[in-house]
């Protein structure tokens, strides 16, 4: 139960029930030799298979006069349902490797979106690795060893740790809470709803690139949450910003978390769930049926030196078939009208094509692409 199978039709770490902790990193490729990149991806694949099974990537006691192959800090720790998910960013498909005609249409860079305050140095990237585990040290061990294996081939571009899941992806899970204190993930896609997942998450025959079939696209957004202003806001206002009750998670007008969000209900001529409430604007019933799989984590990165406020928020991760048809129109709408905007700022953005799962030993990330 502590081990999530690494090999399969799809990569793990997408519909897998959310683990407690996240270590995420984006890398840029520094070699111009595509064979060197392929070899590194092969080594990453073998290492991921071992680490997710709870094993070291190689001996720690290599030889007294050589650096240990595995860095050692995960020895003796349970894998904690570790998953390792790899993706390719749009920039990998520029002229460097002759991959331009293999870039899926859906991997066009994300457009500028309303309210963006993006920091270039923590956005984008040629490759990404998402490591999720119930043990933060096990998740970090993956990023560190991928960087070690990739030395001379890739450099770290940015990384993000997450300390608490902000979404449930299975009906068997309790809904966690985000840093605003609200239950998050109630109306998320759940792995048990196979039809909805196939419809919204996994790339199918419609893709212009066969290598992406069975894959999915990840959007990451580092969303700073201005928790000091939020904490000074009245409870009733917080609830109308989200459109749900804080403690129970019930939609306004309802009494239980699982009650249907009734967007038509009115009281005294006013909508019970306000026009700018987050759940109204994000609902598939008001945006042409768009659904995404949310799988984000809370983060805190110390204090903002300029203001003395906490630099904390949501490292938003969403998986979907086509971010340009799902995340982009959704966020365009939220960025313009969402009452939450008073309390949040999007500070980084990235898009990655996550290829299908590795089938068996010998298969590797990017085999279908390179
Ligand atoms: C729902 C919080 C950003 C999409 C919710 C819910 C909360 C929440 C508390 C209600 C519980 C649930 O159904 O999961 C937040 C916070 C955000 C944020 C605090 C930023 C810090 C976003 C972004 C998107 C998004 C950027 C997509 C572009 C959704 C969707 C739902 C949802 C699709 C489900 C709506 C429904 O069908 O009822 N969010 N969210 N959220 N959110 Fe967010």
What's the pLDDT tens digit per position in 255-288? 999 999 999 999 999 999 999 999 999 999 999 9
- Between the CA of 278 and the centroid of ligand 1 the distance, in Å, is 7
Q: What is the mean pLDDT of the chain?
A: 97
- Helices 136-149 and 34-52, packing angle to 10 deg: 160
Burial environment of residue 332 by CB neighbours within 10 A (0 to 12, 13 to 18, 19 or more): middle
223 lines ligand 1 (CB under 6 A): yes
Distance CA 196, CA 218 (A): 17
Ligand 1 atom nearest the C-alpha of 221 is 26
E strand or H helix that includes residue 354 = strand 344-354
Tell whether the model's pLDDT for residue 326 goes beyond 90: yes
pLDDT digits (tens, 9 = 90+) for 285-312: 999 999 999 999 999 999 999 999 999 9
> 334-350 in b/e burial notation, b at 16+ Cβ within 10 A?
bbebbbbbebbebbbbb
Confidence class of residue 86 from pLDDT cuts 50, 70 and 90?
very high
Distance CA 242, CA 261 (A): 12
316 lines ligand 1 (CB under 6 A): yes
CA distances from 281 to 290, 337, 340 (A): 11, 8, 11
179 lines ligand 1 (CB under 6 A): no
**ipTM > 0.95?**
yes
pLDDT of residue 316: 98
Tell whether the model's pLDDT for residue 24 goes beyond 80: yes
- Between the CA of 162 and the centroid of ligand 1 the distance, in Å, is 17
- Between the CA of 341 and the centroid of ligand 1 the distance, in Å, is 12
pLDDT of residue 352: 99
Burial environment of residue 136 by CB neighbours within 10 A (0 to 12, 13 to 18, 19 or more): middle
pLDDT of residue 353: 98
The stretch 79-107 carries a mean pLDDT of 96
> 33-56 in b/e burial notation, b at 16+ Cβ within 10 A?
eeeebbebbbbbbbbbbbbbebeb
pLDDT digits (tens, 9 = 90+) for 134-146: 999 999 999 999 9
The stretch 49-72 carries a mean pLDDT of 95
Query: How large a percentage of the chain has pLDDT more than 70?
Result: 100
Tell whether the model's pLDDT for residue 205 goes beyond 70: yes
Tell whether the model's pLDDT for residue 8 goes beyond 80: yes
**DSSP code of residue 122:** G
Scanning the structure block, which residue is given the tokens 């769930």?
A: 273
Distance CA 259, CA 128 (A): 37
Ligand 1 atom nearest the C-alpha of 223 is 21
Confidence class of residue 95 from pLDDT cuts 50, 70 and 90?
confident
How many residues would you count in the chain? Answer: 370
84 lines ligand 1 (CB under 6 A): no
Let me know the angle formed at the C-alpha of 321 by 353 and 111, rounded to the nearest 5 degrees. Answer: 70
Among the residues of 21-127, which ranges form H helices?
34-52
pLDDT digits (tens, 9 = 90+) for 147-185: 999 999 999 999 999 999 999 999 999 999 999 999 999
pLDDT of residue 1: 67
pTM above 0.90, yes or no: yes
Paired tokens of 38: 């392929």
- Between the CA of 286 and the centroid of ligand 1 the distance, in Å, is 14
């Amino acid at each position: 139960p502590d081990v999530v199978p690494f090999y399969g039709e799809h990569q793990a770490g997408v519909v897998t029930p959310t683990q407690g902790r996240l270590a995420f990193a984006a890398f840029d490729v520094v070699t111009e030799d595509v064979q060197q990149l392929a070899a590194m991806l092969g080594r990453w694949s073998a290492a991921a298979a071992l680490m997710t099974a709870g094993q070291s990537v190689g001996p720690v006691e290599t030889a007294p006069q050589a650096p240990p192959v595995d860095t050692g800090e995960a020895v003796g720790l349970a894998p904690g349902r570790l998953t390792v998910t790899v993706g390719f960013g749009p920039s990998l498909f520029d002229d460097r490797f002759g991959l331009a005609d293999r870039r899926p249409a859906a991997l066009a860079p994300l457009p500028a979106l309303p309210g963006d305050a993006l920091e270039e140095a923590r956005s984008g990237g040629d490759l990404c690795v998402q490591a999720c585990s119930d043990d933060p040290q096990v998740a970090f061990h993956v990023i560190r060893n991928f960087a070690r294996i990739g030395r001379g081939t890739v450099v770290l571009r940015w990384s993000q740790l997450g300390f608490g899941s902000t979404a449930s992806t299975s009906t068997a899970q309790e809904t966690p809470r985000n840093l605003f204190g609200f239950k998050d993930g109630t109306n998320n896609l759940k792995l048990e709803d196979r039809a909805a997942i196939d419809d919204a998450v996994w790339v199918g025959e419609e893709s212009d690139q066969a290598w992406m079939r069975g894959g999915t696209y990840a959007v990451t957004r580092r969303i700073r949450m201005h928790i000091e202003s939020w904490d000074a806001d009245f409870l009733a206002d917080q609830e109308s910003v989200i459109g749900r009750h804080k403690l129970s998670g019930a939609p306004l007008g309802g009494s239980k978390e699982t009650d249907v969000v009734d967007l038509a209900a009115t009281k005294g001529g006013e909508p019970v769930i306000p026009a700018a409430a987050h759940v109204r604007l994000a609902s598939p019933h008001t945006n042409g049926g768009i659904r995404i799989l949310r799988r984000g984590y809370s983060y805190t990165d110390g204090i903002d030196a300029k203001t003395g406020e906490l630099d904390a928020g949501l490292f938003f991760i969403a998986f979907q078939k086509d971010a340009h048809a799902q995340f982009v129109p959704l966020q365009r709408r939220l960025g313009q009208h969402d009452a939450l905007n008073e309390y949040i700022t999007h500070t980084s953005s990235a898009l990655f094509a996550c290829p299908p799962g590795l089938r068996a030993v010998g298969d590797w990330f990017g085999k279908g692409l390179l």
